[in-house]
Amino acid sequence: MKTRKLVNKLRKELKKVKAYKEQMEQLTDQQLSGLTASFKERYEKGESLDKILPEAFAAMCEADKRVLGMYPFDVQIMAGVALHQGYLAEMNTGEGKTLTATLPMYLNGLTGEGAILVTNNEYLALRDAEEMGPAYRFMGLSVMAGVKRDEDDRFENDEKKEIYKADIVYTTHSALGFDYLINNLVKSASDRFLRPFNFIIIDEADSVLLDSASTPLVISGAPRVQSNLYESADFFVRTLKENEDYEVEEKNVWFTEKGLEYAEEYFGIDNIFAPEYFEIYRHLVLALRAHKIIEKGTEYMISENGEVALIDASSGRTLKGVKLRGGQHQAIECKERLELSQENRSMASITYQNFFSMFPKMSGMSGTIYDAKDELYDVYGKQVVVIPTNNPIQRVDCPDWYFSDSKKQFEAAIRLAVKKHDTGQPVLIVTTMIADTEIISHLLVEKGLPHSVLNANNAFWEADIIKEAGQMGAMTVATSMAGRGTDIKLGPGVKELGGLAVIGVGRMLNIRDERQARGRSGRQGDPGYSRFIVSLEDDIVEKGTDLEKIQKYIDGTKRISDRKIKRIVNNAQKINEELGSTNRKTSKDYDVVLQLERKLMYDTRDMLLDGGTVEKERLLRIAEDNVDLFLKENKELDVTTLNRYLLDNISYRMEKDSGYLNLKNRNRVKAYIMARVEQSLEEKKASIDSESAMNDFVRVSALSAIDEAWIEQVDYLQQLQAAVSGRSSAQRNLMFEYHAEALESFRKMENSIKRNIIRNVLLSEVSMDKKNRLHIILP
Ligand code: ADP
């Protein structure tokens, strides 16, 4: 639907809400909050939320006014409707997204099935839960925050149950995502804490849905046996020649045919793609990537204690405790000749794209989401609607200034900042990277200008500082991401001076970041000012530009027009945006296989956890599949192999009679093994006298078989992904190969689950104690 039509539709709903305004004003507090029960009743009787919306919104608006002292503006009510209807709402910064969310959250909270709001840091989640909480509680809904102030502080399982039972939950996208994975690793039904997903609003949706989307959530498990292939792979890669043995393009690198032949010769193997050499190949790809595309200084640095620390591109901070997956981290350590850190297995993983797609109803809001509308539609099937501002925007966004080198650029930024500062106007200088905040800070010190710099690794602290950035005479230096979501209120007398002046230094990674920076100023119709100052030495120019060609302009040996600088810098930004979008798509495509398998496995687990049984017939069929497979794999069967199979899978007891079998007669062999299976099963049953205990035992056996194989599979796919991405895109269709191999490994996993279920059932030691409790020792 066209945006204008959509906005008109929202206006119609707004009218209906406003029609109840006066009526709500007349109610006593008790009557107002009493409405919740009547709305709930109507919903339970089958009335749709859409029908209840006008009254419920009007009631919540009135509650917001009485409890929080703010009656939502018309545009906020419209945005609230859009959120309820599952749109992504673009609301300018400062328009009051926090208050807006109370309306759809309340309405959807009425179902009793839970409404969740996620945002991208703990600070915002806790702040919003605390500030908006009283209004929901006034209306009789329960509210919880799903995060703690200190991210290392964990909730107990029981606390999590409490949290997710609430009608309204404020949390972060990563806390919720991890909880989902953890919830599907529990060993008994009573440990589960999540309810089925119902409704979710994603705050700062572009940041959550796009910027976080190419890094999947991963839960690590047991340590992996350390491989000694890292060093030989590292050594080998150091001998390679570019464009001969491998090729690099953007953020991709792959071996050429020649390179692969060289590897085969070097490692003395015939076909590097053969399954038995998978590990060698995988380590080569990891080493190749570590050496050729993962850059020291921009993507990682060596910390003081000699560890590889990843750098967050947008904030420039090092990411605490985060490691690259699938052995990539170790390959970098090897390249840097550091001690290899412990590599852990992946137990569970999911991408945000797939995670959020599991909600029956999902919506989002952000100040800068329209620029990504096409991608959001493609990936999430979501439409963006631009909500008009409450007051006309007064901020003046001035045209960019262009410079050939960063020295001139920074000097100009300081001159502009000083000029604004001299009038008393507050100034916010926004840079693309942490390193640049330090340069700016240095230059300001030289001028004797006091200022605050935001580069702490702490959203709580940042929010405190950025709040003050609108006071008269304030000078603040920050990266574009710092303090996002925190309101900058203007101090007394600042409006008259023209509001907050935002000076952007450097072309940002994408247009959204730039709009986010400008949006710091001119909130709610306040006056404001913004200008970006860019140069050929901006970090982003490296992308998609031949640096040698522009060196002469940077050196000043040749002049360049502003128009040309603009073209180069904007082009680089565009390339970066496309690259980001491609990466996100790739990461989603990789997860597609996993998503199907994950659903199947999680559903099966749930069925078992919920007390579902595996009937005897089903068990026998599974056993039969195992036997068929065994016979297929052993065309020339001998007695030893048969006995080995019986011992490993069916019974620890040797029977003499297998010696008389005609091993050439497959049907006879099969019938014989199946008879042994039945016999063994009967013996188990006899040792557990009750039927329900037998069911419990089978259930535990199956669950354990599934988990063991599934965790193995998740880990394998993670590694496969790392390996496949190093194959030449010119020669092969990467995604096709990945999917084919993933499917094949899934089939193998199914077989190993089947085998392990039967093994667990037949070979476990089971006993009942005096209290009729089951004790199981799995084989
Ligand atoms: P956003 O997240 O959209 O940038 P916030 O939710 O931080 O904006 O709100 C910006 C400021 O506007 C806050 O100080 C909030 O208290 C105020 N505000 C929001 N809505 C209203 C309203 N309807 N009436 C009065 N003040 C409001």
In tens, the pLDDT along 594-644 reads 788 888 888 888 888 887 778 888 889 999 999 999 999 888 888 888 888
Whether residue 21 is predicted with pLDDT greater than 70 in this model: the reply is: yes
pLDDT of residue 168: 97
> Please, is 36 exposed, middle or buried when counting C-beta atoms within 10 Å of its C-beta (0-12, 13-18, 19+)?
buried
- Strand pairing category for 246-249 and 765-768: unpaired
pLDDT of residue 730: 46
Spatial separation of the C-alpha atoms in residues 663 and 723, rounded to whole Å: 42
Whether residue 456 is predicted with pLDDT greater than 60 in this model: the reply is: no
Q: Is 98 annotated as a binding residue?
A: yes
Task: Find the range with the poorest average confidence among 47-51, 69-73, 231-235.
Answer: 231-235
Q: Pick the most confident of 211-215, 386-390, 541-545.
A: 386-390
Q: Which atom of ligand 1 is nearest to the CA of 76?
A: 23
Residue with the bigger pLDDT between 151 and 123: it is 123
Is the CB of residue 111 less than 8 Å from the CB of residue 117?
no
Stretch 457-480: mean pLDDT: 82
| Residue 405: band (very low, low, confident or very high) from pLDDT cuts 50, 70, 90 | very high
Q: Which residues lie closer than 8 Å to 32 by C-beta, 6 or more apart?
A: 24, 59, 62, 63, 66, 139
Task: Find the range with the poorest average confidence among 187-191, 364-368, 494-498, 671-675.
Answer: 187-191
pLDDT digits (tens, 9 = 90+) for 661-691: 777 888 888 999 999 999 988 888 888 878 8
The CA R_g of the chain, rounded to the nearest whole Å, is: 31
Whether residue 377 is predicted with pLDDT greater than 70 in this model: the reply is: yes
Among protein residues, the one whose CA lies closest to atom 14 of ligand 1: 487
| Residue 66: band (very low, low, confident or very high) from pLDDT cuts 50, 70, 90 | very high
Short-list 675, 340, 271, 316, CA closest to 513: 316
pLDDT of residue 105: 98
Among protein residues, the one whose CA lies closest to atom 7 of ligand 1: 487
Short-list 175, 247, 238, 249, CA closest to 212: 175
Which residues on adjacent β-strands are paired with residue 161? none
Q: Helix 616-633 crosses helix 734-763 at what angle (to 10 degrees)?
A: 120
Residue 697 CA, distance from chain mean position: 36
Q: Which atom of ligand 1 is nearest to the CA of 94?
A: 4
pLDDT of residue 477: 92
Is the CB of residue 219 less than 8 Å from the CB of residue 348?
yes
- Report the 10 Å Cβ neighbour count for 225: 8
Task: Find the range with the poorest average confidence among 142-146, 411-415, 463-467, 617-621.
Answer: 463-467
Q: Which residues lie closer than 8 Å to 504 by C-beta, 6 or more apart?
A: 430, 431, 480, 514, 517, 518, 530, 531, 532, 533
Q: Is the CB of 70 under 6 A from ligand 1?
A: yes
Q: Pick the most confident of 297-311, 407-421, 725-739.
A: 407-421
Whether residue 298 is predicted with pLDDT greater than 60 in this model: the reply is: yes
Whether residue 541 is predicted with pLDDT greater than 80 in this model: the reply is: yes
Q: Which residues lie closer than 8 Å to 216 by C-beta, 6 or more apart?
A: 349, 350, 351, 352, 587, 591
Ligand 1, pocket-test mutation among 66, 95, 128, 368, most atoms within 8 A of CB = 95
pLDDT of residue 595: 82
Spatial separation of the C-alpha atoms in residues 605 and 403, rounded to whole Å: 60
pLDDT of residue 729: 47
Q: Is the CB of 72 under 6 A from ligand 1?
A: yes
Q: ∠ CA 266-271-273 to the nearest 5 degrees? A: 110
Residue with the bigger pLDDT between 225 and 48: it is 48
pLDDT of residue 661: 75
Which residues on adjacent β-strands are paired with residue 317? none
pLDDT of residue 732: 54
Q: Is the CB of 98 under 6 A from ligand 1?
A: yes
745 to 219, 634, 738, 750, 752: CA distances (angstroms): 21, 21, 10, 9, 10
In this structure, what DSSP letter does residue 339 have? P
- Report the 10 Å Cβ neighbour count for 222: 10
Residue with the bigger pLDDT between 643 and 736: it is 643
Q: Which atom of ligand 1 is nearest to the CA of 487?
A: 7
| Residue 713: band (very low, low, confident or very high) from pLDDT cuts 50, 70, 90 | confident
Taking the centre of ligand 1 as the mean of its atom positions, its distance from the CA of residue 461, in whole angstroms, is 20
- In the chain, the percentage of residues whose pLDDT exceeds 70 is 94
Taking the centre of ligand 1 as the mean of its atom positions, its distance from the CA of residue 58, in whole angstroms, is 18
pLDDT of residue 13: 96
Task: Find the range with the poorest average confidence among 226-235, 375-384, 587-596.
Answer: 587-596
Whether residue 457 is predicted with pLDDT greater than 60 in this model: the reply is: no
pLDDT digits (tens, 9 = 90+) for 149-208: 776 678 888 999 999 999 999 999 989 998 998 888 887 788 889 999 999 999 989 888
Is the CB of residue 188 less than 8 Å from the CB of residue 354?
no
- Report the 10 Å Cβ neighbour count for 523: 27
Residue with the bigger pLDDT between 513 and 39: it is 39
Stretch 335-341: mean pLDDT: 89
Ligand 1, pocket-test mutation among 99, 206, 390, most atoms within 8 A of CB = 99
pLDDT of residue 65: 97
Could you give all domains of the chain from N- to C-terminal order, each with its CATH number? 3-217+353-386 (3.40.50.300), 225-342 (3.90.1440.10), 394-581 (3.40.50.300), 611-777 (1.10.3060.10)
| Residue 274: band (very low, low, confident or very high) from pLDDT cuts 50, 70, 90 | confident
Q: Is the CB of 99 under 6 A from ligand 1?
A: yes
H or E element at residue 454 = strand 452-454
Q: Which atom of ligand 1 is nearest to the CA of 64?
A: 23
Taking the centre of ligand 1 as the mean of its atom positions, its distance from the CA of residue 282, in whole angstroms, is 51
Q: For the chain, what is the mean pLDDT?
A: 87
